[in-house]
Chains A and B, each alone.
Chain A
């Protein structure tokens, strides 16, 4: 990567720069003509004589000539602005392309960092570099060559003009240029140094924020928030100080600049005036020189501004690039991919010969380890944390490069094999595999997404491709099919799902997945078969609820003609829910369409009255008793802040005043939250019930085409409800304790009988795992990592403490692996015992190798029996 900004600009945007320059030059004659033409109009057309004139073989009278010139002028104005428009767009395009290229290169550099580097740099520092810091570079690139060329050219022309008038005055006009050219860079240097400090300081702030996010539990637990506030405050102060220092210098430069620009006129008036009086200089020449100097000042100023911007951008570029251009980066060819990047290996023997490697810190190294793992071997690498276990496992997987010694896979040095080859043969799962903020399924098939499946067809096309070529970006289409099913040993997407579920069962995640599936909303994908099955399950459950007493006691079904006492009034009246998942039904009360439908159904007044009752009760129960905020927050329908507002609304309602639309909606919203079976605030008369139920059909008519609501219908799935709610088509009864748990047990039987367990587990695959898999437990994450590694059908499976504490899981994995080599790092003696051979690590050294019985003492206690006996004697 180019270390200097101009190197970068010249190397990648020569052509664009030349085009910009050419366009700039093109605009000169047009600009000149727009200044010249008005003169012709005044002199020739308006106050001219000897008409008609011959223009391009046509005879024109005075008026015609005037019109022609004016049209010409208009055309030139359009042309001038047109060129400017094109030029500006082109500059923007050139700058943005370069910015894209730069960001891509920087990101690519991150991907090429060796792993130990990530212990020293953090996302908090890297993110602002790639996003914010280089932004100015893009803006500047369009100006990089054109501005100095254009302004420099203009300056030169004016200078020649002045010199032609009078050499002495010309010299006077530029007398201060050398001084400016000397002093300003000198001062600018200081500004550059300060800008650098500021960039580094802002990075440190960004890093602090990043740390705060990661360390949130520890900050709270240690009560160190004030310390962190002080720390950040200090950083911000430093930022202020630097900025102030920059300001002072920057404006000092401006001041000097302006001063020096005003100085020459002083000489012109004094010396020039003296010369004119003496008669050594004509008055006309002095005026001309003064005018020329005035013109001279503007390009000179532009040039200086350009220089200052350049200096600022340059320092940004350099401070960014030096962080990415590291000496020990992984060679690009090892990551490049491509058809010829995979080498067929004769076998998958992993051999380490006197390998030493370090992951950065002390206790994170291995020293002089020699070890060989033959195809089909089962090896445990036993060692406590800090014994070098993890590092040895990573070295075997080719993730940690040896400082000394040789590590080979199939006889080839791991350092020289492409990552594509290694990943094809070897799967690695660390102790805490990273999960992306996507679904479980995409986290698993992540392991198959190394290249687009159809390499040629799936590349980018059209504009995307052209732009990618122009900016040296990736030509692969991210939207293409990247899931290489053949690597999982299956030929179709359905078969892959089967395989996924097999592996899910293998690692013991099936129950979890089923529960996630039940709670998931899996109707975005239009799968009629699945919908049919859900509806069948629903019909089954509804039948059972009607027939079976134990079900009936648990579920309050949705029946079109009866009020559901276990559901909110809102759901009951709409007989539906808002379509956006997670929107509470009472949000519907602020929708004018709903309010209009309620009015049409004639239930709005009753709902307002109900809402008023609720508000009255809430105020009485929570406000008048002096309950504190926690009690109000947990139980009240109204928050502490809303209470005064509702007190006022209630007063107006009681006084019989006409309520504003918003007030009515607020009351209806309260009524909508009411679950009659639980909140016994409002007593519903049979008349109320029949009116509320009767309103359903009117509301359905009004809302049936409204995309914001999903209306209940026993014959269709309701997308905003979870699979479980869809199957149940009702609510767990609120007057039964523990109804939900019992329903779970009953549902399990129904879904199993209908063969729905698999489809539901499959829906669970679409569960979004949250940031870094935060919505799953550590054990679940490790298991998903394990599936991700096994789906590739590797020939060598390398694990690090993934199966610790779970011997049955290990046994299942070993059985499923067949002839695959399995190496697992572990601190669990039971896991070590279950593997064929054990390599014991201690203080970075391989201290013993053999069956568990023979290495146990040295592995666990750090010394073998012989040594102890020798010591005793």
Chain B
């Protein structure tokens, strides 16, 4: 357990992919390592949160509240990024993430993240690039979906 291993985990997150090693280590140093027991919620749907988690070990379910109770929509595991939208904008959590085994995660708060971005503008550029990639992919997928809907 050291900031080097945490920085290595950060490196695997697409959002941070282009960021220099040293700065990732700084982000790792500023972040907290937290632990959740099985059954504990990392985030809760509807809450306003300012933390994103990078799961270092363990597994968790992503659940969405529906009329027929909670519905499992996905599971997350090691090196997955949970609640990252909270780092960028203030929106209520869109799903509940519940640990199914003991989870160790790296908590990155909005405050720390923004402080780093304002300190290192090139880091912001990298983040922007990562987001743009994601947007581009989403748009492409959306187009394809729309095409398949109109075709059918």
Contacts and interface: CB of A to CB of B under 8 A. Distances in A.
Interface of A: 549, 553, 617, 620-622, 624-625, 627-628, 630-631, 634-635, 677-683, 734-737
Nearest to A676: B1
A679 B32 CA distance: 8
A349 B115 CA distance: 65
Given A617-B29, A737-B107, 11 more contacts: A620-B22, A621-B26, A625-B26, A628-B119, A630-B115, A679-B29, A680-B6, A680-B33, A681-B29, A683-B2, A735-B32
A621 B22 contact: yes
B34 to A, nearest CB: 5
A696 B22 CA distance: 36
Q: Nearest 5 CB-CB pairs, A to B?
A: A735-B35, A621-B26, A680-B2, A680-B3, A683-B2
Contacts of A678: 32-33
Interface in B13-58: 22-23, 25-26, 28-30, 32-35, 37, 51
B142 interface: no
Contacts of A617: 3, 29
A332 to B, nearest CB: 61
Nearest to B42: A737
B57 to A, nearest CB: 13
B115 to A, nearest CB: 6
A248 to B, nearest CB: 59
Chain B interface size band reads: 20 to 34
Contacts of B3: 617, 680-681
A627 B120 CA distance: 8
A683 B25 CA distance: 15
A469 B29 CA distance: 68
Interface in B35-86: 35, 37, 51
Contact of B34 (A631, A679, A683, A735): A735
A558 B22 CA distance: 35
Contacts of A630: 115
Contacts of B120: 625, 627
A736 B34 CA distance: 5
Interface string B108-125: 000000011001100000
B123 to A, nearest CB: 10
B25 A621 contact: yes
Contacts of A635: 29-30
A631 B119 contact: yes
Nearest to B7: A680
Interface of B: 1-3, 6, 22-23, 25-26, 28-30, 32-35, 37, 51, 107, 115-116, 119-120
Given A678-B32, A680-B33, A737-B34, A627 B1 contact: no
B26 A553 contact: no
B103 to A, nearest CB: 11
Contacts, number: 55
A549 B37 CA distance: 10
A625 B22 contact: yes
A625 B23 contact: yes
Chain B interface secondary structure, helix, strand, loop or mixed?
helix
Nearest to B25: A621
A677 B26 CA distance: 17
Contact of B33 (A625, A627, A681, A735): A735
A259 to B, nearest CB: 73
A617 B22 CA distance: 10
B107 A683 contact: no
B35 A736 contact: yes
A733 to B, nearest CB: 8
A631 B26 CA distance: 10
Contacts of B26: 621-622, 625, 627
Contacts of A622: 26
Contacts of A627: 26, 119-120
Contacts of A736: 34-35
Nearest to A550: B37
B107 A621 contact: no
A480 B33 CA distance: 56
A631 B115 contact: yes
Given A683-B2, A736-B35, A737-B107, A621 B29 contact: yes
Nearest to A734: B32
A766 B93 CA distance: 43
A862 to B, nearest CB: 45
B105 to A, nearest CB: 10
Contacts of A677: 33
Contacts of B35: 735-736
Contacts of B23: 625
B45 to A, nearest CB: 17
A735 B102 CA distance: 13
Nearest to B53: A737
Contacts of A737: 32, 34, 51, 107
Given A617-B29, A678-B32, A735-B35, A624 B115 contact: no
Nearest to A678: B32
A367 B32 CA distance: 66
Contacts of B22: 620-621, 624-625
A116 to B, nearest CB: 50
A677 B32 CA distance: 9
Contacts of A679: 29
Contacts of B29: 617, 621, 635, 679-681
Nearest to B1: A680
A138 to B, nearest CB: 58
Contacts of A634: 115
A677 B1 CA distance: 9
A622 B29 CA distance: 11
A681 B2 CA distance: 6
B100 to A, nearest CB: 17
29 contacts: A549-B37, A553-B37, A617-B29, A620-B22, A620-B25, A621-B22, A622-B26, A624-B22, A625-B23, A627-B120, A630-B115, A631-B115, A631-B116, A631-B119, A634-B115, A677-B33, A678-B32, A679-B29, A680-B2, A680-B28, A680-B29, A681-B3, A681-B29, A682-B2, A683-B1, A734-B32, A737-B34, A737-B51, A737-B107
B107 to A, nearest CB: 6
Nearest to B115: A631
Nearest to A624: B22
B118 to A, nearest CB: 9
Nearest to B20: A625
The CB with the most chain B CB atoms within 10 A, among A549, A622, A627, is that of A627
A682 B25 CA distance: 14
Nearest to B107: A737
B77 to A, nearest CB: 19
Contacts of A683: 1-2
B69 to A, nearest CB: 25
A736 B107 CA distance: 10
Contacts of A681: 2-3, 29
A631 B118 CA distance: 10
A625 B122 CA distance: 12
Contacts of A628: 119
A751 B26 CA distance: 41
A680 B1 CA distance: 7
Contacts of A735: 32-35
Nearest to B6: A680
A757 to B, nearest CB: 30
A642 B146 CA distance: 60
**In this complex, which of B3, B28, B51 has the most chain A Cβ atoms within 10 angstroms of its Cβ?**
B3
Contacts of B32: 678, 734-735, 737
A568 to B, nearest CB: 16
A549 B1 CA distance: 24
